[in-house]
Structures are given as structure tokens and as C-alpha cells.
Amino acid sequence: MITFEGFDDRTFYLTFQTEEDCLQYLSSMKWAENYKCRKCGHGKFMKGKKSHSRRCQKCKYDESATAHTLFHQLKFSLMIAFEMVFRLSCDKKGISTLGLSEKLSLSYQSCLNFRRKVQYAMRSSQRYPLKNYLEVDEFAVGGYDSESQGRAKGDKKLVNVALEITPDGGFGRAYAVKIEDYSSTELEKIFKQHIDPENTQIRTDKWTGYIPLTKKYNIEQEYSENGQNFRQLHLHIMNIKNWIRGTHHHVSKEYIERYLDEFHFRFNRRTYRKSIFKKIIERLVFSTKVTQSQLRVWAT
Ligand SMILES: [Zn+2]
């Protein structure tokens, strides 16, 4: 059985040297719990036609290691797919799609299509909302914000971000969502999706859009003083903006939330990077509830 816990190139290339290694890794993950035939529910199997596939002893249904996973019917090798997951999850600063395309000698479009699947796997489960002490603020990327004058208005992307501040003043976990405007309804999205309303103290700036939310959430408003009163949060916002501009140059309004998810998936796991690769592969293997057509809609 192949295991991989790491984030360094050498261990990765030593672990996954052949297509067979990748298939074995997927197969042992997919059937880690007892085998059960997808068609008839029978619990015994024999070796299937393809390498690491399993064939039901009763109804003879033959299931490959990649069937019903997001690795099914890829137009390139599993080794390339694994390397893409590795680059996207373990490179500290992530990588642009163009960078992936050059590194893997694969077309830009193929890289982008698969990146969408990985981003899908990187979405927050929303099961572990932020809590204790948080700061929330909204910001714009592109468009008419002060750092990129003169771009088309339609290109302006608005984002709301929430960051946990640890008792010693450090960074905890964070999430960000795309918003359409700075109204209370839009600002509440991040509260609904990512913030535990109980036992959580939230700080925002004095923006009036937060006032209606003070009835439902424990919010304290304070003057921002150009970010001086929200030092950690503003540093975090700067890092998000730098990543979008520096690594990707441009991310459209339609897709920005996927990149925010990707950024925060890595950010929230920065202290235990060893398990990131496995986590993503697991999600790609068990995303069976997502149909191919749903994924296409999500991915276009
Ligand atoms: Zn069967």
C-alpha cells in the first residue's frame, strides 16, 4: 500500500513513479473500507480487467479505480493529474494555470479544466465555522480600486473576508466570499456561511452596512484608521490581493470565489501541510455526489 505524507518534491516523485502507483493509491483509498458492489451490493470481489479494478463475484460488475471519481476519463495520465494536485495543494504560494501548463507540458485548457475540479475539492465544507475572536472587512480587487485605476468598471470584484485572531494576536483560520455590493444582505453571506454566531466576538469597521447585523451577531464596530486598528486582517487582505495579481494577474468576477477558496484551503492548513495532498485526493475520489453535468456547470 502506498502512503504519501509530505510536501517536498523529492518524496512526491519517489512515491509516484508510475501510472500503476497512482492507480494503487486511488484504489486503496477508494476501497479502504470494505468492498461493496455498486450494482448489487455483494461484498466479495475478484481482480477486474484493468489494473487495480475490482470485479463483483456475483454480478460480475467490473469497476475501475477511477470510475465514479473526479479522475474518471481524464485526457491525460494520472501521474500528471497527481502532479497537478501536488502543485496546487503543496506549493506554498500556489501556481498559475499557465505555470502548470508549462511545467507539465499540457495544454492550458486541460490544466484549467482539472484545476476547476481541484478547486471544487478545495471548497469549504462549512462544517467548521470560524469562532472566538474575529475581524471582518470588505475589499475590492481590480476595477476602480485605488491600485489599478482605469480598468473597466465591470471588472471590479468585491470580497468580504473574516479572519480569526488568536489570543496572542496571531493569525487563526480565515474565509472569504464574493459579494455583489456592500449592502447588509451581501455582507451577511460570510456570517451565514463561515461564522459561528455563538461565542464569537466580531470586530468590523464603522461601515453602516454592518449595523443591521449587530442585532444577530456579537459585533463591535471601530474606526479602521486606514487599517491601523485591523493590522492582521489588512495584512491578510494584502496577501490575497498580491496572490491574485502576482500569481494569476487576472481573475474574472465569475471565478474569483474559486480562487478565494483555493487560497484559503491552503491558508487554513498551513500548519499541517503534510496531509493536504491526501485530503484533496480523497475529496476528488469521494465527490461522487457531484454529477459530471453539475461539475460542468460549476466549472464553466
Ligand atoms: Zn455485483
Q: What spacing in Å lies between the alpha carbon of 63 and ligand 1's midpoint?
A: 10
Q: What spacing in Å lies between the alpha carbon of 138 and ligand 1's midpoint?
A: 53
Do residues 251 and 134 both lie within one domain? yes
Report residues of the chain scoring pLDDT below 50.
145-152, 299-300
Q: What spacing in Å lies between the alpha carbon of 60 and ligand 1's midpoint?
A: 6
Residue 270 lies in a domain: no
What pLDDT is recorded for position 293?
59
Q: Which residue has the cell 466549472?
A: 299
Output the nine-digit C-alpha cell for 123.
471548497
Do residues 80 and 159 both lie within one domain? no
Q: What spacing in Å lies between the alpha carbon of 45 and ligand 1's midpoint?
A: 8
Q: What spacing in Å lies between the alpha carbon of 47 and ligand 1's midpoint?
A: 13
Q: Say which CATH number the domain at 172 has.
A: 3.30.420.10
Do residues 251 and 144 both lie within one domain? yes
Do residues 139 and 23 both lie within one domain? no
Do residues 64 and 162 both lie within one domain? no
3-state secondary structure 137-200: EEEEECCCCCCCCCCCHHHCEEEEEEEEECCCCCEEEEEEEEECCCCHHHHHHHHHHHEEEEEE
Please write the tens of the pLDDT for every residue from 78-106. 999 999 999 999 888 889 999 999 999 99
Do residues 91 and 160 both lie within one domain? no
Do residues 115 and 201 both lie within one domain? no
Residue 264 lies in a domain: no
Q: What spacing in Å lies between the alpha carbon of 43 and ligand 1's midpoint?
A: 8
Q: Name the residues around ion ligand 1, CB cutoff 5 A.
A: 37, 39-40, 42, 56, 58-59, 61
Residue 260 lies in a domain: no
Total number of domains in the chain: 2
Domain extent at residue 181: 130-255
Indicate the helix (H) or strand (E) that contains 20: helix 19-30
298: how many CB neighbours lie within 10 A of its CB? 14
Do residues 181 and 82 both lie within one domain? no
Cβ-based neighbours of 264, under 8 Å, separated by 6 or more = 124, 173, 174, 175, 176
Do residues 91 and 165 both lie within one domain? no
Q: What spacing in Å lies between the alpha carbon of 41 and ligand 1's midpoint?
A: 6
Q: What spacing in Å lies between the alpha carbon of 291 and ligand 1's midpoint?
A: 22
Q: What spacing in Å lies between the alpha carbon of 296 and ligand 1's midpoint?
A: 29
Do residues 148 and 114 both lie within one domain? no
What pLDDT is recorded for position 132?
96
Do residues 56 and 86 both lie within one domain? yes
Please write the tens of the pLDDT for every residue from 126-176. 999 999 999 999 999 986 544 444 444 567 899 999 999 999 999 999 999
Q: What spacing in Å lies between the alpha carbon of 67 and ligand 1's midpoint?
A: 15
Residue 98 lies in a domain: yes
Q: What spacing in Å lies between the alpha carbon of 34 and ligand 1's midpoint?
A: 14
Q: What spacing in Å lies between the alpha carbon of 117 and ligand 1's midpoint?
A: 29
Q: Which residue has the cell 489570543?
A: 167
Residue 221 lies in a domain: yes
